[in-house]
Structure 1
Amino acid sequence: DDILYEELLENAITVAENKAGLLPLRQLETKSIAYVKFGDDDGSVFYNELKKYARVHEVKANSLESLSDKLKHYNTVIIGLHRSNDNPWKSYKFTSQELTWLYETARTNNVILNIFVKPYALLDIDPINNIKSVVVSYQNSDIAQQKSAQIIFGALPAKGRLPVSAGVDFSVGQGDTYTSINRLSYTTPERAGMSSLKLKKVDSIANHAVNEGMTPGIQLLIARKGKVIYNKNFGKHTYDKNAEAVKINDIYDVASLTKILATLPLLMELEEKGIISLDSKLSDLLPEYKSSNKKNVTIKSMLSHYARLKPWIPFYYATLDSVTKRPDPKYYRKSFDPKFSIKVADELYMRNDYQDSIQGIIKDSDLLSRLRYRYSDLPYYILKKYIEEYYDRTLDELTRNHFYESLGANYTMYNPNNRVSNKNIVPTEEDDYYRYQKIHGYVHDMGAAMQGGIGGHAGIFSNANDVAKIMQMYLQKGYYGGKRYLKPETIDKFNFCYYCDENNRRGIGFDKPQLGDAGPTCGCVSMTSFGHSGFTGTYAWADPEEEIVYIFLANRTYPTAGKNLLLKEDIRTNIQEAIYEAIID
């Protein structure tokens, strides 16, 4: 029944007017979008669905003057007319005030009018001239609201045609049609060849992890064939009984997922443009490495973790007082100072010049005694320096401008404490070894914190829905939302195991399925699949052959990193196995 109802609405919802091809909305980086609710019924489902695709703000006002003033900050306004679905005799018309507000808003803004009532409501609209797009959704049900938002953003095609005429501007059979532009849509599991019943096992495993104290909370998303068929939250931000419950738009410190969400796509771009190659050596990229023991290390070898680089260097430790083991005043201040401006946590600022020291320590560090696979964060410190020097921009700016804004990944960012309320940021640890405070809104990784929160290896915060967009872009060979970000051959080049013969499963930046028994996956995924995991308990994996994207976000490090029970109990890979067991076609 649910599937039939969804399909009926997807085929019925009509884009009755679409001047200059405004719909589906593209180039999200150029859009500032407001939502204004008309009518006496609820429009929250529509609003929440819009927010899955872009940064959309609901604007409310008590007067036309106030509304007009607030809408000056937006270039696109979505107006929803929501009236009750209870029975066919309920009023479906605009009020005279709503019509006045509609006309005045359309004079100064690009307006998308979406009516969740009978198409006869359009009889009241005269003139139609200034209204750019009109969508008729016929009903105000939750499904109608969800599907309308998906059509507006091109996650679903527009197919519908008006079944009746509504004045001179809207004729029977009228409707602008367009195809999907390959954004994620949202539906029931069965429509993507998955079993809702079998996916209940995923709920059980996630609840078990939370109930057994392996992590305070979890965000979980599963997509197949470009459709999100599972997006649930479990537990709370912390173990405190009064803690915030995990919500869909809460953001997590994704730790090492930063490597494939931030540094890697920027490197892919540079490789595609011929600025670098996989065989570029460190001595080619950074002059200071010409006399280093790492001068011949290539991008290919170090991003495959096959370059004899040390796995990790605890840079913070050398900045602690040798007696108290607390931040040494030689390196830190409690308040901002022009020479101490690197904020590593609340009321803790590091000396500016220590970032150069970090790079020097890496450059002068010994190589491992023999060549073998050893996972290392160090390549991402080095490549961050190269990328930022090449563009003369920070990774924060570059990732936003090149990827996140146009993808609609508006919950993906460095240093969220500057932009998001702590109520929507999940804390990671009660730090009793470096910063001596709750790490909340600041990056958990110490080395990334010492870079002002912007690391090439860690520092990104995000929610499951946003991470899924980026992984889906990879899965679609560099294409998403009507825009080509990367060439298919670039994705293939980086998603390749160059050292499998040396018992090294890694791609270029991407983790790959295990070659033997133990490894990062359930062992039930294809060898073309790829992803990464993160220290805080995060996991993102995409499988081109089954068209599956699986995102698991957690803060298993709270209150202390301690034992990694998620890993020990195989929680993330057991869920992955349950996902594959739920495939029914």
Structure 2
Amino acid sequence: MELGSTMFTFLQEQIDKERLPGAVISVIHRNRLLFRGAIGYRQLWPDRQPMSINTVFDLASLTKVVCTLPLILQLWQRKRLSLHMPVAEVLPPFGANGKENVTIFQLLTHSAGLPASVPFYKEGLNYHETIARVCHQAPTYTPGTRVVYSDLSFIALGAIIEQVTGKSLQRVANEWIYTPLGMQETQFCPRFPATRYAATEWDHWLGRPKCGEVHDENAFAMGGVSGHAGLFSTVSDIEKFAGEMQTATPLLFDPDILRYARQHFSAGMEEPRGLGWILKGAQTNSSCGRFFSPFSYGHLGFTGTSIWFDPVAELAVIFLTNRVHLGRDNHAIRRIRPALHDLIYQCLFF
């Protein structure tokens, strides 16, 4: 099967059935770009605007692994923190309500006792007030005993980065990741022309779809910058990040640190977790499909973005969509993602 036409036939069917507005996809094998393409629309209303390769996407929770995780790993590599140190050693208020022994490692593995999310934005809290509330949050389960995917954990990690470096999250990310890797279009609070963005959900306050404003409500209330969401980027920039994750000779990291981050640290818990990454492991319903190896790792973003790596097949798939443009209750992406990854694998290896 021919890779490009097979993927586009499948994706066009999803667009025709109004399951997706559009998508940009990149397939990388053995650090060689096999395919990069755009299909469908970056915006459906008030008028249809075609998707393009240079469309800027709200990455949503890909922020966690394209910004926050690599910065924490660099701080560890530079010996400016230890993964197993209590968070309260860096952020003393975090020790409130029985969290004095919760570690950075537990934040990274979503096992810190924190709930999935809290709608702080409904209280009108700003950036610093939100971080204060996260620090004061009581555990909802015994830390280290469960995996509960938590935005709060990565809000705290973003605050740790700023506390240790004395710089804003955006500035540290620019200096330590995006400038060295040439990721010039990866930004918080971006200022691209409106015609560059993949529109997300209709906003009743704005009277239009969000377009260049972060979709996540807590990140929006925090001024668009947070460790859990808020980052915008393009497929070409994410390809550069993927190359850094896959190469045997990374520019910014000790290869052993990157390998450590994708080890399985949550045996016997709800889902297989590395540091930041979700792992395929023995899952039979993974979003990377049936054929990616058990050693595969990746992450998803609520807006419809995802990145998956299979180190055995030396394969990376970047799949960027704005599925929430059709409403956040549009869950067709849950079927589309694994089916697409299966098609890619079949085209390449069967």
1:285 aligns with 2:90: yes
Q: What is the identity, as a one-letter code, of the residue corresponding to 2:82?
A: S
Q: What is the identity, as a one-letter code, of the residue corresponding to 1:224?
A: H
Structure possessing the higher radius of gyration over alpha carbons:
1
Aligned twin of 1:361? 133
The verdict on how the C-alpha distance between 1:461 and 1:478 changes in structure 2, with shifts beyond 3 A counting, is farther
Contact 2:186–2:234 (CA under 8 A) maintained in structure 1: yes
Q: What is the identity, as a one-letter code, of the residue corresponding to 1:581?
A: Q
Structure 2's unaligned 5+ residue stretches are none
Q: What is the identity, as a one-letter code, of the residue corresponding to 2:113?
A: R
Instruction: Give the deviation of 1:453 after TM superposition.
Output: 0.8
Contact 1:308–1:369 (CA under 8 A) maintained in structure 2: yes
Distance 1:478 1:296 in 2: 36
Of 163, 184, 202 in structure 2, the residue corresponding to residue 389 of structure 1 is 163
Aligned twin of 2:213? 442
Of 535, 539, 542 in structure 1, the residue corresponding to residue 306 of structure 2 is 539
Aligned twin of 2:7? 202
1:499 aligns with 2:304: no
The verdict on how the C-alpha distance between 1:261 and 1:449 changes in structure 2, with shifts beyond 3 A counting, is same
Distance 1:309 1:200 in 2: 44
Aligned twin of 1:462? 233
Contact 1:256–1:535 (CA under 8 A) maintained in structure 2: yes
1:561 aligns with 2:332: no
The verdict on how the C-alpha distance between 1:369 and 1:272 changes in structure 2, with shifts beyond 3 A counting, is closer
Of 95, 100, 111 in structure 2, the residue corresponding to residue 306 of structure 1 is 111
Distance 2:299 2:313 in 1: 18
Alignment of 1:105-120 (within 5 A): none
Aligned twin of 2:276? 509
Distance 1:242 1:369 in 2: 47
Give the fraction of aligned pairs with identical amino acids, expressed as a percent: 26
**Higher relative contact order by CA 8 Å / sep ≥ 6: 1 or 2?**
2
SS in structure 2 of the partner of residue 522 of structure 1: coil
Distance 1:354 1:247 in 2: 34
Aligned twin of 1:91? none
1:243 aligns with 2:28: no
Instruction: Give the deviation of 1:520 after TM superposition.
Output: 2.9
Greater per-residue helix proportion: 2
Instruction: Give the deviation of 1:369 after TM superposition.
Output: 3.8
Contact 1:409–1:469 (CA under 8 A) maintained in structure 2: yes
Aligned twin of 1:579? 344
The verdict on how the C-alpha distance between 1:529 and 1:369 changes in structure 2, with shifts beyond 3 A counting, is closer
Contact 1:514–1:520 (CA under 8 A) maintained in structure 2: no
Distance 1:503 1:292 in 2: 24
Distance 2:308 2:168 in 1: 27
Contact 1:475–1:543 (CA under 8 A) maintained in structure 2: no
Contact 1:513–1:523 (CA under 8 A) maintained in structure 2: no
The verdict on how the C-alpha distance between 1:551 and 1:293 changes in structure 2, with shifts beyond 3 A counting, is same
1:415 aligns with 2:189: yes
SS in structure 2 of the partner of residue 236 of structure 1: strand
Distance 1:423 1:517 in 2: 39
SS in structure 2 of the partner of residue 557 of structure 1: helix
Instruction: Give the deviation of 1:302 after TM superposition.
Output: 2.1
Deviations 1:91-134 (A, max 9, x none): xxxxxxxxxxxxxxxxxxxxxxxxxxxxxxxxxxxxxxxxxxxx
Aligned twin of 2:203? 431
Instruction: Give the deviation of 1:393 after TM superposition.
Output: 1.4
Instruction: Give the deviation of 1:385 after TM superposition.
Output: 1.1
Distance 2:291 2:304 in 1: 21
Instruction: Give the deviation of 1:260 after TM superposition.
Output: 0.5
Instruction: Give the deviation of 1:584 after TM superposition.
Output: 4.2
Instruction: Give the deviation of 1:514 after TM superposition.
Output: 4.6
Alignment of 1:79-94 (within 5 A): none
The verdict on how the C-alpha distance between 1:295 and 1:478 changes in structure 2, with shifts beyond 3 A counting, is farther
Aligned twin of 1:489? 256
Structure 1's unaligned 5+ residue stretches are 1-194, 320-352
Instruction: Give the deviation of 1:357 after TM superposition.
Output: 2.2
Contact 1:431–1:560 (CA under 8 A) maintained in structure 2: no
Contact 1:254–1:458 (CA under 8 A) maintained in structure 2: yes
Instruction: Give the deviation of 1:408 after TM superposition.
Output: 1.6
SS in structure 1 of the partner of residue 320 of structure 2: strand
Deviations 1:31-76 (A, max 9, x none): xxxxxxxxxxxxxxxxxxxxxxxxxxxxxxxxxxxxxxxxxxxxxx
Alignment of 1:277-356 (within 5 A): 277-319=82-124, 354-356=126-128
Instruction: Give the deviation of 1:394 after TM superposition.
Output: 1.3
1:372 aligns with 2:146: yes
Instruction: Give the deviation of 1:501 after TM superposition.
Output: 3.4
Aligned twin of 1:451? 222
TM-score (norm. length: structure 1): 0.57
Contact 2:21–2:40 (CA under 8 A) maintained in structure 1: yes
Contact 1:427–1:438 (CA under 8 A) maintained in structure 2: yes
